[in-house]
């Protein structure tokens, strides 16, 4: 794993959360992007080499809506940058980690992503992401 690529934060209202984060970080979000397959709209801020990804649900079926219902707004996942997502998945599966899906899929911000189930990582949903070349 190369570095923490971003922190994902579940929010109820993206526009309000963008204002909060813009005020706190002193920069505007650099992009907004919907990931329709996941039922979310995202907004990204840069903080040095790391990013903050705000996530708002666009459907009550989305994982973000369910997360907020259960646990409220807040830190949703930690994402690690990897060079080769498939080999990292293989390594982690061999070490006993459970993934939410067997294959990586296209996430926001031009990334191939996958998620390690929070049960495997002491309660923290963990994303691996690889830049799509
Ligand atoms: Zn993420």
pLDDT band for position 118 (50/70/90)?
A: very high
CB 116 within 8 A of CB 126: yes
What is the pLDDT at residue 10?
98
Q: How far is the CA of 60 from the centre of ligand 1 (A)?
A: 19
**More confident of the two residues 109 and 97:** 97
Residues 6+ apart with CB under 8 A from 97: 116, 117, 120, 121
What is the pLDDT at residue 55?
98
User: Taking residues 7-21, what's their average pLDDT?
Assistant: 98
Q: How far is the CA of 6 from the centre of ligand 1 (A)?
A: 6
Q: How far is the CA of 127 from the centre of ligand 1 (A)?
A: 6
- Of 94, 91, 76, 75, which is closest to residue 1 (Cα–Cα)? 91
Pairing, β 50-57 against β 111-116: unpaired
Whether residue 109 has pLDDT greater than 90: no
What is the pLDDT at residue 133?
87
Which DSSP symbol is given to 121?
A: T
User: Distance between CA 133 and CA 6 in Å, rounded?
Assistant: 18
Whether residue 78 has pLDDT greater than 90: yes
Q: How far is the CA of 17 from the centre of ligand 1 (A)?
A: 16
Average pLDDT value over all residues in the chain? 96
- For residue 77, the Cα-to-chain-centroid distance in whole angstroms is 6
Q: How far is the CA of 105 from the centre of ligand 1 (A)?
A: 12
Q: How far is the CA of 77 from the centre of ligand 1 (A)?
A: 7
Q: How far is the CA of 53 from the centre of ligand 1 (A)?
A: 6
The model's pLDDT over 29-76, given as tens digits with 9 standing for 90+, comes to 999 999 988 899 999 999 999 999 999 999 999 999 999 999 999 999
Q: How far is the CA of 79 from the centre of ligand 1 (A)?
A: 6
User: Distance between CA 96 and CA 121 in Å, rounded?
Assistant: 11
């Amino acid at each position: 794993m190369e570095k923490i690529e971003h922190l994902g934060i579940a929010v109820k209202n993206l526009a309000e959360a963008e204002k909060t984060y813009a005020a706190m970080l002193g920069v505007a979000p650099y992009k907004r992007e919907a990931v329709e397959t996941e039922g979310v709209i995202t907004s990204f801020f840069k903080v040095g080499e790391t990013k903050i990804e705000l996530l708002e649900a666009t459907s009550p079926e989305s994982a973000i809506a369910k997360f907020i219902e259960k646990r409220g707004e807040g830190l949703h996942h930690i994402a690690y940058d990897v060079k080769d997502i498939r080999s990292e998945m293989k390594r982690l599966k061999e070490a006993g980690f459970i993934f939410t899906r067997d294959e990586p899929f296209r996430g926001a911000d031009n990334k191939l992503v996958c998620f390690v189930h929070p049960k495997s990582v002491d309660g923290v949903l963990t994303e691996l992401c690889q830049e799509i070349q």
